[in-house]
Structure 1
Amino acid sequence: MRLTRVTLFFIALIIGTGLYLLMRQQLSVVEPQTYQATEESMVDAAQLLSAFVDADLKAGGFKKERFEDAFHGASRRKFKALIHGHLKDHMGLGAYVTDVTGKCLFDSGGKLEGTNLIQARDVALTLRGEYGARSSRTDDTNPFSSVLHVGALIGPMEDPFGVVTVYKPQSDVLPIVDARRRGIYWGTGLIGAGILFLVTAVFIWQYRPVGLLTEYAREIESGKRPPLPKLGAGKEVNTLARALESMREALEGRRYAERYVQTLTHEMKSPLAAIRGAAELLDEDMPEADRRRFLENIRAESGRAERLLNRLLELSALEGRSSLEETENVDLVPIVARAID
């Protein structure tokens, strides 16, 4: 069954390689797609806050206190949102507002107010009328400290007031990314295991009858007469089994015929020689008593030859059977005693 194992190995290798490449491709897009979806929602939030600030400006000026109260109130709110298996219980979105010179007028985190952010890509690009976004680390040594920023222009492009930027730590999104990665690992693993199990089961179903037929052929080769093994419902293997059975019967019949002729020739030599010798002596003159004795020898040897032929015919009928229709217990003691006597 070496061929079976080698075939299974290569099938497993091909399936494993394909699943690995598929999993690698899926994993490579999980993080970018998740951050892309997050960034898309941040663009909407930035445009919405820009509209609020613009409305305040039209009403008389930017009301920083109103924004502070809104963000502080939102940060203190208690909620539980189960998003595709990820539990979110706090607000992770922040925002800051800069004027046209880049000076920070408001920061929901309270750390950037008064800082000039004109060099920041989200502020500089937005003031030039482009899409302003950036991802910056709060700790250069920590790759998970990145914060995504998205800017939106406040006021018309001809005379802007400034820029409102919303920001969100990427660590808020990492649990979702990790959950999706685990789902890919589990899904790919289960699919691979299922395919390998199915392929293995099919191979066992196909090759097990072949193994049984191989053992059957080996037992025949060793001189045994085993019954035909049960091979299931497979049409091909059963056809092969019947062909092997027919070949076995044909070969056994041929070998038996050879043995039968050899045995018959050997066993018939003695009675035929005795009959021939007695017949030759009868051609000579001899006393009547001797003649009767030789005639009796001819009759005895003829009977012996007939009994021998009958027994060989019975033996031929018995050995021609592949199995016994009826079985019964036999006491071998009298048979052995009679054979010894």
Structure 2
Amino acid sequence: MRIGLRLLLGFFLILGLALFVVLRVFVEEVKPGTRQAMEDSLVDAAYTLARLAAPDMKAGTIASGDFAQALTGLPGVNPQASIWGFRKERIDYRITVTDAQGIVRFDTQPEAIGQDFSRWNDVARTLRGEYGARSSPANPYAPDASTVMHVAAPIRDGERIIGALSVSRPNERLEPYIERSQQRILRWSWALLGLSLAIGLLFSWWIASSLSRLRGYANAVARGDRVAMPVLGRLSGSTEFSELAQALERMRLKLEDKAYVESYVHTLTHELKSPLAAIRGAAELLQEELPPNDRHRFADNIQRQAERLRQLVDKLLELAHVEQMRGLASREPVDLSALTRELLQRMEPRTRLKALRVHDDLGPGMTVPGDPFLIGQALQNLLDNAIDFSPHQGELWLRLRRDGDQVEWSVRDQGPGIPGYAQDRIFERFYSLPRGEGQDKGSGLGLCLVQEVSELHGGQLVIGNNEPPPGCEARWRLPS
């Protein structure tokens, strides 16, 4: 399982558990808390009404006095109130007055008058001077029905309790308010859960993406690819991820520098042995008495080998410069047609010497963005190879064409082509093939340099034999 998914699942599990516990506790407290608030209001109402009912109770006119007349018809009153979007169209209070024996003497529901309520907790406890309250089913024959809350207050004659006044209200009247509160709590909880999940997804993606880029960067470095340090985005800032990327980059540079120097010292030492041995042998022979022709031949050999050393060092410096580049500092339009023709003009003495016919199919100017100097170096190496491997009085075909958003430059010669054993090694550093009679072996750095320049420009270099043979063709595709 990927680390991003693990982080997300862990985050979601912890968040979900915490939200479940909080939500469960909160929702379970809504209904009891609302009923406690209702009980508190019933207590206030019961004690207030008990004080108002006391004069009629003392006078024995509780069923017909001012108190009874004021409350008669109370259930039919329509307050026409709107409470937080809910319409209230009737009074939900029921007021019951019992005497000291618990017999109902007045009730806003007249059918209860004369009944014995002394067995009910609210009346019984109040007549004993205690706090009396109860919650019982609205229908005694249906225990699962909605309940009614009753709160009683004593009616006193001085210190003597002469009756009890109960105020009751159905609990179901609170259900719409409780239900709406629960729904709002649930909606906000789901919204919070969704928002938290989105934040968790974002951070999990960020962490996983940063790690994935660092892993890809490390793998590319291990393969020896030319890659730049990953940009981890604005979210990373100066976090541990960006510091880790910088540490990896510093480590890569130090390791590459060390390996680069070791590789170049080793290969350069190997390549210098042959021309140095030739120079030393010729120099030793020149110290002896030789005919003038032999002396000139050995001197020419020293000059040739010295030139070969110079070219090798120059190529190495060029290649080292290109290999150390991680990208192009700037790009400008490069006219491939004009640049190729300019290079051919410089190489005209060599083409004349080999009596080569050059077929120019470069067409009008086609430009690509890049570094003019590097592209020129690459084209010169490809043209050098084509001329060196061409036979005397051979032909060269130069072609330039546009293919979608790319431009393809190609050169084709009539040389011996690439042997099968060398197909996979032509881009190796210091690997070179014989170039025909009278020509020194190449440095083996030209195609390596072209490949590096191509990668810097996002191009693709393909070199293969002509079909049908003989000859070889180099095709270089560059984005336009």
TM-score category of the 2 structures, normalised to the smaller one: 0.7 to 0.9
Number of residue equivalences? 341
Tell me the C-alpha RMSD between the 2 structures: 2.9
CA distance in 2, matches of 1:157, 1:183: 49
Shift of 1:251: 2.1
Does residue 234 of structure 1 match 2:233?
no
Shift of 1:168: 0.9
CA distance in 2, matches of 1:51, 1:65: 14
241-250 vs 329-338, which deviates more? Answer: 329-338
* Higher strand residue share: 2
Identity of aligned residues (%): 36
307-316 vs 181-190, which deviates more? Answer: 181-190
123-132 vs 255-264, which deviates more? Answer: 255-264
TM-score w.r.t. length of structure 1: 0.86
Counterpart mapping for 1:3-42 below 5 A: 3-42=3-42
Partner of 2:261: 257
Partner of 1:270: 274
- Corresponding residue SS for 2:157: coil
**CA separation of 1:5/1:35 partners in 2, compared to 1, >3 Å: closer, same or farther?**
same
Does residue 168 of structure 1 match 2:169?
yes
Answer whether contact 2:80 2:89 (CA < 8 A) is retained. yes
TM-score w.r.t. length of structure 2: 0.63
Answer whether contact 1:144 1:171 (CA < 8 A) is retained. no
CA distance in 1, matches of 2:124, 2:328: 100
Counterpart mapping for 1:145-160 below 5 A: 145-156=146-157, 159-160=160-161
In structure 1, the gaps of 5 or more residues are: none
Counterpart amino acid of 1:219? A
- Corresponding residue SS for 1:114: coil
In structure 2, the gaps of 5 or more residues are: 341-377, 388-480
Counterpart amino acid of 2:237? G
Shift of 1:159: 4.8
CA distance in 2, matches of 1:222, 1:112: 95
Counterpart mapping for 1:155-234 below 5 A: 155-156=156-157, 159-205=160-206, 208-231=209-232, 232=234, 234=237
CA distance in 2, matches of 1:52, 1:208: 75
Does residue 243 of structure 1 match 2:247?
yes
Shift of 1:150: 1.6
- Corresponding residue SS for 1:79: coil
111-120 vs 77-86, which deviates more? Answer: 77-86
Counterpart mapping for 1:113-152 below 5 A: 113-139=113-139, 140-141=141-142, 143-152=144-153
**CA separation of 1:82/1:201 partners in 2, compared to 1, >3 Å: closer, same or farther?**
farther
CA distance in 2, matches of 1:214, 1:85: 58
- Corresponding residue SS for 1:133: strand
> Which structure has the higher relative contact order (CA within 8 Å, separation 6+)?
1
Counterpart amino acid of 1:309? V
* Higher helix residue share: 1
CA distance in 1, matches of 2:275, 2:311: 11
**CA separation of 1:125/1:326 partners in 2, compared to 1, >3 Å: closer, same or farther?**
closer
Partner of 1:62: 62
**CA separation of 1:229/1:158 partners in 2, compared to 1, >3 Å: closer, same or farther?**
closer
Answer whether contact 1:148 1:169 (CA < 8 A) is retained. yes
Does residue 339 of structure 1 match 2:385?
yes
Counterpart amino acid of 1:340? A
**CA separation of 1:58/1:117 partners in 2, compared to 1, >3 Å: closer, same or farther?**
closer
CA distance in 2, matches of 1:339, 1:173: 95
Answer whether contact 2:4 2:207 (CA < 8 A) is retained. no
**CA separation of 1:4/1:276 partners in 2, compared to 1, >3 Å: closer, same or farther?**
same
1:64-93 deviations in Å (ceiling 9; x for gaps):
375555445433333343445544332110
Shift of 1:234: 1.6
Counterpart mapping for 1:283-294 below 5 A: 283-294=287-298
Counterpart mapping for 1:319-338 below 5 A: 319-327=323-331, 329=334, 330=336, 335-338=381-384
Answer whether contact 2:152 2:167 (CA < 8 A) is retained. yes
- Corresponding residue SS for 1:62: coil
- Corresponding residue SS for 2:190: helix
